[in-house]
Amino acid sequence: MQALVAIIFFAGASYMIGYLLFYSVFPADDAYIHMRIAKHMALYGQPYFNLDQQVASSSSPLWLLLLSTLFMLGGANPLLLPPLSIVITLALFAVLSMVFSRYAHPAGATAGAALAMILGPLATAALQMETPLALLLWALSLLLLDRKRFPAAGVCAALAACTRYEMGLWLILAGLAVPGLHERIRFGFGAAPVMAALAGFNLYYFGSLLPNTIRAKSIIYELQFSESVAGTGFLFGPWLFVGLLAIGFGLAIGLIRDHTRRFTGVGLLFGILLLALYTGRNTFLFPWYIPLFYLPIMAGIFGVLAASARRQQLIALLVAILLLWHPNSLMLNEATGVLTGNRMGFREAAPGYVSIATLKSEQCCIAIIPTHL
């Protein structure tokens, strides 16, 4: 049986590595923003996009510090990011497999984790964004919570919040779900130094606890609720979307009531609430936002499918089919692109290609892949 698990893991990891090597030629524009700030941090000790402007342009302090350390060691080279993304992706795959194996057969858990990775954070890793790191720390905290290692779980949950601020919601929910006052205090002792360091970093360099980009995006992008829902990839209308959120909330509560799957339920609840907050606030959803709620939701649905009554399993399967219909079609298209050598199969390639074609038609001078930051 261990051989079967190893074969499944090797096959999944091989595909992920091939996918990232093939599609990492399409980094997100925000990836270059992070790299420019990290370069300034590495060379001048100043985490600013423009050295003369004390603006918090990065919304991921931990990612910024990781990149600046990498640039100090290897130079400010964009080609350092794809190997980093591969390492983080494989680590997330391994940890997610361990999380899933808590309530399912190891072979099924590994296959489920591979599918969750391919549907969720893999494309964002190819964009060379920080989301996979945030999800790795989220998954580590979930695994540690299941193993009752609460101080270490607090550290990982807080580090996830330092990578993506939305993970602050997970930090709160996880802390509340820890059973017993004494254990919650231990969880808090793990999280508190990390959050204090984050606050100190932001106040020292920017004079603010939150980055300027959070407020700026809420002003720049004005969407209707239906447009925000469409941005998640959900294809069946806003009212069915609201109904699925309610069903997902009910499934999460059912998991939380089972003490053996409590924290998986909290993970599902986190994904549902984050998705509700995004769409309820009419947020413009960038591609690297989406795995932050999809992966916890997929993990929770897998927990229901693996160890629940038949009725709950059928409901969870329906939710999964409707929510994952669009990501599943994208996954199949991208896999075909990898097999046929067609990079335009990447979900982010076509919009970039259209933009480049438009610029060329207007006789603009552009550079697709910068050689410097």
3-state secondary structure the chain: CHHHHHHHHHHHHHHHHHHHHHHCCCCCHHHHHHHHHHHHHHHHCCCCCCCCCCCCCCCCHHHHHHHHHHHHHHCCCHHHHHHHHHHHHHHHHHHHHHHHCCCCCHHHHHHHHHHHHHHCCHHHHHCCCCHHHHHHHHHHHHHHHHCCCHHHHHHHHHHHHHHCCCHHHHHHHHHHHCCCHHHHHHHHHHHHHHHHHHHHHHHHHHCCCCCHHHHHHHHHCCCCHHHHHHHCCCCCCHHHHHHHHHHHHHHHHHHHHCHHHHHHHHHHHHHHHHHHHHHHCCCCCCCCCHHHHHHHHHHHHHHHHHHCCHHHHHHHHHHHHHHCHHHHHHHHHHHHHHHHCCHHHCCCHHHHHHHHHHHHHCCCCCCCCCCCC
Instruction: Give the relative orientation of helices 238-257 and 310-323 as an angle to the nearest 10 degrees.
Output: 140
Residue 39 structure tokens: 């370069």
Going by C-beta distance under 8 Å and a sequence separation of 6 or more, which residues neighbour residue 284? 217, 221, 223, 228, 231
- CA-based diameter of the chain, in Å? 66
116 neighbors 299 (Cβ within 8 angstroms):
yes
pLDDT of the residue at 217? 60
Residues with pLDDT less than 50, the chain: 354-372
The pTM of the full predicted model, rounded to 2 decimals, is 0.91
pLDDT of the residue at 162? 95
pLDDT of the residue at 363? 42
Rounded to an integer, what distance in angstroms lies between the CA atom of residue 140 and that of residue 307? 22
pLDDT of the residue at 303? 87
Dump pLDDT digits (tens) for 25-75: 889 989 999 999 999 999 999 998 888 888 887 889 999 999 999 999 988
Closest CA to 306 of 175, 113, 172: 113
Residue 103 structure tokens: 């309530």
pLDDT of the residue at 109? 92
pLDDT of the residue at 356? 39
Rounded to an integer, what distance in angstroms lies between the CA atom of residue 237 and that of residue 225? 11
99 neighbors 138 (Cβ within 8 angstroms):
no
Q: Using the structure block, give the residue that is written with the tokens 């020292």.
A: 204
Residue 31 structure tokens: 């990836």
Rounded to an integer, what distance in angstroms lies between the CA atom of residue 16 and that of residue 93? 9
Rounded to an integer, what distance in angstroms lies between the CA atom of residue 156 and that of residue 197? 14
pLDDT of the residue at 216? 59
Q: What is the 3-state secondary structure (H, E, C) of 321-363?
A: HHHCHHHHHHHHHHHHHHHHCCHHHCCCHHHHHHHHHHHHHCC
Q: Using the structure block, give the residue that is written with the tokens 């939150």.
A: 210
CA torsion sign, 180 to 186 to 187 to 189? positive
pLDDT of the residue at 351? 64
Residue 360 structure tokens: 């060329």
195 neighbors 161 (Cβ within 8 angstroms):
yes
pLDDT of the residue at 208? 79
pLDDT of the residue at 212? 65
Dump pLDDT digits (tens) for 205-225: 888 777 766 665 656 667 888
